[in-house]
Chains A and B, each alone.
Chain A
Amino acid sequence: MLSKRIIPCLDVREGKTTKGIKFKGNVDIGDPVEMARMYYEAGADEIVFYDITASSDKRDIMIDVVRKVAETIFIPFSVGGGIRTVEDMRRVLLAGAEKVSVNSAAVLRPDIIAQGAEAFGSQCIVLGMDVKKVEPSDAIPSGYEIVIHGGRKPMGLDALAWAKQAEALGAGEICLNSIDADGTKEGYELNLTALISQAVSIPVIASGGAGKPEHVRDVLTIGHADAALIASMVHYGTYTIGEIKQYLTENGVAVRRTW
């Protein structure tokens, strides 16, 4: 039976990892290549890199990081952040990433999903969604709105409708981040995750809010997610990936055995 995936997420700015709390006050905590190797050895099923480098002339640093990571770890990894064109996707994939994720650029120009899927195959294209809870309205019937630019800009776009549209355009996977839960360590947004995961037939990676193994269990069971993104709970050494997986196994969630 297919295992649920546990995926550490590394935010990278100008070649160094950081972890943001609600996207503000990021602090440097290390070298992304070394952290990727550590998580690979510890049993991560996949790794996500999110490039938060602000200035575009420093983006090439990320391509170097991707190349070094690809020489070091032998599990899939994806890269997102600042991907605006099919050419951006090509550079990241050629440097050795398995998948590339688009977020704001896809909201502004949905065609990039179809173009990426056509050029590299759907399995390479991950749609990153930043979602905020709002009062349900005619424009946002699900009560979940798409926001971009690190959560600062609401788009008047319904998250559920957008997920379905992205799937139809050829996205191979959705990485679903709750802006409300992100950085709180109080658990994933279970309602949002279940809503999206049950509405699409592509895998959904839940993101935002993981603080303890119980949260991961809940999003993989009640939230019906296919994979769980984790960050602070492992970056600061609170838990190891092995401990999280052991907890999940003991609680009836099938994960890849790595201890």
Chain B
Amino acid sequence: MIAIIDYDAGNLTSVQRAVSFLGKACVVTRDPGTLLEADRIIFPGVGAAGSAMESLVRYGIDRILRDAYGMGKPILGICLGSQIILDASEENDTACLGIIPGTVKAFPSDMSGPDGRKLKVPHMGWNRLLCLGGHPILEGLDPMDEFYFVHGYYPQPQQEEDHVFCRTDYGIDFPSVIGCRNLVATQFHPEKSGRPGLRILSNFFHWKP
């Protein structure tokens, strides 16, 4: 059973539908028992870091996530779920879960593209991954594959070489797939990224960290 964490941070139906489409049983829940019994956990999220952290603490999911991580359960963070696993976020100056050392940063406001024009923030649309090291959830992807992003902040782990698996170029090369041990997280939305996105989800289901 795959548990998708429900903490009032955005629309979870798209993640649920993609998991079901791939033939996996899943449950959308905030029940601590169900989360700790699940084989795998997906930690999605859209919205602001501040209100997301408030909900996580209110429901006690912050502790459950740290426990599940400690137990070695495979966890996939998506979008906001790739950010609040770090120590802190510049968005609303929020203290976060601190599972991976690092901070969540805002895109610089003065970035320009190859044509010299000012880049729009949030970074919204399809972009590629520049893969640094291998990670089992990236298996079978083509370097030309693109993924759907919507975000104004990005995760910056302290230890690049250990915790950053891919970067993506949008004005700066920001970390787009990060992870540590049994936790891996994508800044983009695999559930909205067509076939290569579904491949990442399917790889996650088979991942044995």
What does the 1/0 interface line of A197-224 toward B look like (CB < 8 Å)? 0000111000000000000000000001
Q: Are A40 and B194 in contact (CB under 8 A)?
A: yes
Q: Are B14 and A45 in contact (CB under 8 A)?
A: no
Q: Are A70 and B14 in contact (CB under 8 A)?
A: yes
Task: Give the residues from 168 to 222 in chain A that come closer than 8 angstroms, CB to CB, to chain B.
Answer: 172-173, 201-203
Q: Are B124 and A70 in contact (CB under 8 A)?
A: no
Task: Give the residues from 4 to 52 in chain B that come closer than 8 angstroms, CB to CB, to chain A.
Answer: 10-11, 13-14, 17-18, 20-21, 46-48
Q: Are A202 and B120 in contact (CB under 8 A)?
A: yes
User: Is A23 close to B, CB under 8 A?
Assistant: no
User: Is A64 close to B, CB under 8 A?
Assistant: no
Q: How far is the CA of A127 from the CA of B47 in the complex (A)?
A: 19
Q: Are A71 and B17 in contact (CB under 8 A)?
A: yes
What does the 1/0 interface line of A48-69 toward B look like (CB < 8 Å)? 0000000000000000000000
Q: Are A45 and B18 in contact (CB under 8 A)?
A: no
Q: Are B148 and A76 in contact (CB under 8 A)?
A: yes
Q: Are B124 and A203 in contact (CB under 8 A)?
A: yes
Q: Residue among A5, A98, A173, A203 with the most chain B CB within 10 A? A: A98
A residues near B128, Cβ cutoff 8 Å:
1
Q: Are B194 and A75 in contact (CB under 8 A)?
A: yes
Q: Are A201 and B21 in contact (CB under 8 A)?
A: no
- Which of A2, A76, A172, A224 interacts with B123 by CB under 8 Å? A2
A residues near B192, Cβ cutoff 8 Å:
74-76, 98
Task: Give the residues from 70 to 114 in chain B that come closer than 8 angstroms, CB to CB, to chain A.
Answer: 113-114
Q: Residue among A2, A3, A173 with the most chain B CB within 10 A? A: A2
A residues near B120, Cβ cutoff 8 Å:
201-203, 226
Task: Give the residues from 71 to 115 in chain A that come closer than 8 angstroms, CB to CB, to chain B.
Answer: 71, 74-76, 93-96, 98
Q: How far is the CA of A172 from the CA of B122 in the complex (A)?
A: 9
Q: Are B13 and A96 in contact (CB under 8 A)?
A: yes
Q: Give the secondary structure class of A's interface.
A: loop
Task: Give the residues from 103 to 146 in chain B that come closer than 8 angstroms, CB to CB, to chain A.
Answer: 113-114, 117-128, 144, 146
Q: Are B114 and A1 in contact (CB under 8 A)?
A: yes
B residues near A257, Cβ cutoff 8 Å:
144, 146
User: Is A37 close to B, CB under 8 A?
Assistant: no
Q: Are B114 and A227 in contact (CB under 8 A)?
A: no
Smallest beta-carbon distance B37→chain A, Å: 27
- Which of B17, B46, B148, B195 interacts with A121 by CB under 8 Å? B46
What does the 1/0 interface line of A138-176 toward B look like (CB < 8 Å)? 000000000000000000000000000000000011000
User: Is B179 close to A, CB under 8 A?
Assistant: no
Q: How far is the CA of A93 from the CA of B14 in the complex (A)?
A: 10
User: Is A256 close to B, CB under 8 A?
Assistant: yes
- Nearest opposing residue in chain B for A257, CB measure: B144
- Nearest opposing residue in chain A for B127, CB measure: A2
User: Is B54 close to A, CB under 8 A?
Assistant: no
Q: Are A1 and B113 in contact (CB under 8 A)?
A: yes
- Nearest opposing residue in chain A for B47, CB measure: A121
Query: Which A residues contact B (CB, under 8 angstroms)?
Result: 1-5, 40, 45, 70-71, 74-76, 93-96, 98, 120-121, 123, 172-173, 201-203, 224, 226-227, 256-257
What 10 pairs between A and B have smallest CB-CB spacing? A256-B146, A256-B126, A3-B126, A123-B150, A257-B144, A2-B125, A76-B192, A96-B13, A2-B127, A201-B120
- Not counting A74-B193, A123-B122, a sample of 8 additional A-B residue pairs whose C-beta atoms are within 8 angstroms of each other reads A1-B128, A2-B127, A71-B17, A76-B148, A96-B11, A98-B14, A121-B46, A201-B121
* Selected A-B contacts with CB under 8 Å, 16 pairs: A1-B114, A1-B170, A2-B113, A2-B123, A2-B125, A70-B13, A74-B21, A75-B148, A75-B194, A96-B11, A98-B14, A123-B124, A123-B150, A172-B122, A227-B125, A256-B146
